[in-house]
Amino acid sequence: MRHVQEGLRLAGLLSNTKPLLIDVAQDSCGRSLPGAVGLQGTGYEACFSVQIEGRFVRKIHALTGDNLTKPIVVFCVSSERFTGYNLALRLVALGCTNVHSYRGGVEAWQVNGLPDADLELQQW
Protein backbone atom coordinates (compact mmCIF):
# COMPACT_ATOMS: atom_id res chain seq x y z
CA MET A 1 0.00 0.00 0.00
CA ARG A 2 1.25 3.47 -0.89
CA HIS A 3 0.31 6.80 0.65
CA VAL A 4 -0.53 9.79 -1.51
CA GLN A 5 0.17 12.91 0.54
CA GLU A 6 -0.83 15.81 -1.67
CA GLY A 7 -3.86 16.60 -3.78
CA LEU A 8 -1.78 17.75 -6.72
CA ARG A 9 0.22 14.52 -6.68
CA LEU A 10 -3.03 12.56 -6.63
CA ALA A 11 -4.31 14.63 -9.58
CA GLY A 12 -1.25 13.46 -11.52
CA LEU A 13 -1.87 9.85 -10.54
CA LEU A 14 -5.47 10.16 -11.68
CA SER A 15 -4.52 11.46 -15.10
CA ASN A 16 -1.76 8.88 -15.59
CA THR A 17 -3.30 5.63 -14.32
CA LYS A 18 -7.10 6.11 -14.11
CA PRO A 19 -7.48 4.29 -10.77
CA LEU A 20 -10.69 3.21 -9.12
CA LEU A 21 -11.53 5.90 -6.53
CA ILE A 22 -13.32 4.72 -3.40
CA ASP A 23 -14.65 7.19 -0.85
CA VAL A 24 -15.68 5.50 2.41
CA ALA A 25 -18.30 8.26 2.67
CA GLN A 26 -18.37 8.46 6.45
CA ASP A 27 -19.53 11.94 7.48
CA SER A 28 -19.73 12.85 3.81
CA CYS A 29 -21.35 16.09 2.73
CA GLY A 30 -22.29 14.51 -0.61
CA ARG A 31 -19.25 15.88 -2.46
CA SER A 32 -16.12 13.97 -3.39
CA LEU A 33 -13.42 13.59 -6.00
CA PRO A 34 -14.80 13.38 -9.55
CA GLY A 35 -15.57 9.79 -10.49
CA ALA A 36 -15.36 8.44 -6.94
CA VAL A 37 -17.59 5.60 -5.80
CA GLY A 38 -19.03 5.91 -2.31
CA LEU A 39 -18.98 2.67 -0.31
CA GLN A 40 -20.32 3.59 3.12
CA GLY A 41 -19.33 1.26 5.92
CA THR A 42 -16.30 -0.27 4.23
CA GLY A 43 -13.81 1.64 6.38
CA TYR A 44 -14.87 0.46 9.81
CA GLU A 45 -12.02 -1.15 11.67
CA ALA A 46 -14.12 -3.98 13.11
CA CYS A 47 -14.13 -7.34 11.37
CA PHE A 48 -16.95 -8.02 8.95
CA SER A 49 -19.29 -10.93 9.48
CA VAL A 50 -18.99 -13.74 6.93
CA GLN A 51 -22.09 -12.47 5.09
CA ILE A 52 -20.88 -8.85 4.95
CA GLU A 53 -17.38 -9.94 3.94
CA GLY A 54 -18.88 -11.89 1.05
CA ARG A 55 -20.82 -8.83 -0.15
CA PHE A 56 -17.68 -6.69 0.14
CA VAL A 57 -15.56 -9.17 -1.85
CA ARG A 58 -18.20 -9.42 -4.60
CA LYS A 59 -18.44 -5.60 -4.83
CA ILE A 60 -14.67 -5.12 -5.11
CA HIS A 61 -14.44 -7.83 -7.78
CA ALA A 62 -17.27 -6.12 -9.69
CA LEU A 63 -15.66 -2.67 -9.43
CA THR A 64 -12.24 -3.94 -10.52
CA GLY A 65 -13.54 -6.28 -13.21
CA ASP A 66 -11.91 -9.15 -11.28
CA ASN A 67 -8.54 -7.43 -11.72
CA LEU A 68 -6.99 -7.16 -8.24
CA THR A 69 -3.92 -5.45 -9.76
CA LYS A 70 -6.06 -2.47 -10.85
CA PRO A 71 -4.90 0.76 -9.17
CA ILE A 72 -7.24 1.75 -6.34
CA VAL A 73 -7.18 5.00 -4.37
CA VAL A 74 -9.13 5.05 -1.11
CA PHE A 75 -9.89 8.04 1.07
CA CYS A 76 -12.35 9.59 3.48
CA VAL A 77 -13.46 13.10 4.31
CA SER A 78 -10.26 14.34 6.03
CA SER A 79 -6.93 13.41 7.56
CA GLU A 80 -8.59 13.25 10.97
CA ARG A 81 -10.33 10.00 10.04
CA PHE A 82 -8.75 6.60 9.58
CA THR A 83 -11.58 4.94 7.69
CA GLY A 84 -9.83 5.34 4.34
CA TYR A 85 -6.69 3.74 5.74
CA ASN A 86 -8.76 0.94 7.26
CA LEU A 87 -10.32 0.26 3.87
CA ALA A 88 -6.86 0.23 2.26
CA LEU A 89 -5.74 -2.44 4.73
CA ARG A 90 -8.90 -4.45 4.04
CA LEU A 91 -8.24 -4.30 0.27
CA VAL A 92 -4.64 -5.43 0.69
CA ALA A 93 -5.84 -8.35 2.84
CA LEU A 94 -8.29 -9.22 0.05
CA GLY A 95 -5.37 -9.49 -2.38
CA CYS A 96 -5.45 -6.09 -4.11
CA THR A 97 -1.85 -5.27 -5.03
CA ASN A 98 -1.98 -1.63 -6.17
CA VAL A 99 -3.72 0.22 -3.33
CA HIS A 100 -3.11 3.88 -2.55
CA SER A 101 -4.37 5.69 0.54
CA TYR A 102 -5.05 9.42 0.10
CA ARG A 103 -4.71 10.62 3.69
CA GLY A 104 -5.93 14.19 3.18
CA GLY A 105 -9.24 13.07 1.75
CA VAL A 106 -11.94 15.24 0.27
CA GLU A 107 -11.05 18.16 2.53
CA ALA A 108 -7.43 18.36 1.30
CA TRP A 109 -8.59 17.95 -2.30
CA GLN A 110 -10.92 20.93 -1.97
CA VAL A 111 -8.33 23.05 -0.10
CA ASN A 112 -5.99 22.56 -3.06
CA GLY A 113 -8.66 24.10 -5.30
CA LEU A 114 -9.22 20.89 -7.22
CA PRO A 115 -12.67 20.21 -8.69
CA ASP A 116 -15.13 18.08 -6.78
CA ALA A 117 -18.37 16.40 -7.81
CA ASP A 118 -21.49 14.79 -6.40
CA LEU A 119 -20.66 11.53 -4.65
CA GLU A 120 -22.24 8.40 -6.11
CA LEU A 121 -23.14 6.08 -3.22
CA GLN A 122 -23.38 2.43 -4.20
CA GLN A 123 -24.95 -0.53 -2.46
CA TRP A 124 -22.69 -3.36 -1.51
Instruction: For residues 86 and 3, give the distance between their C-alpha atoms in angstroms, rounded to a whole number.
Output: 13
pLDDT band (50, 70, 90) for residue 120: confident
Specify the CATH number of the domain 2-121. Answer: 3.40.250.10
pLDDT of 37-91, one tens digit each? 999 999 988 889 999 999 999 999 999 999 999 999 999 998 888 899 999 999 9
Per domain, the residue ranges of the chain are 2-121
Say how many CA atoms lie within 13 Å of 89 toward its Cβ. Answer: 10
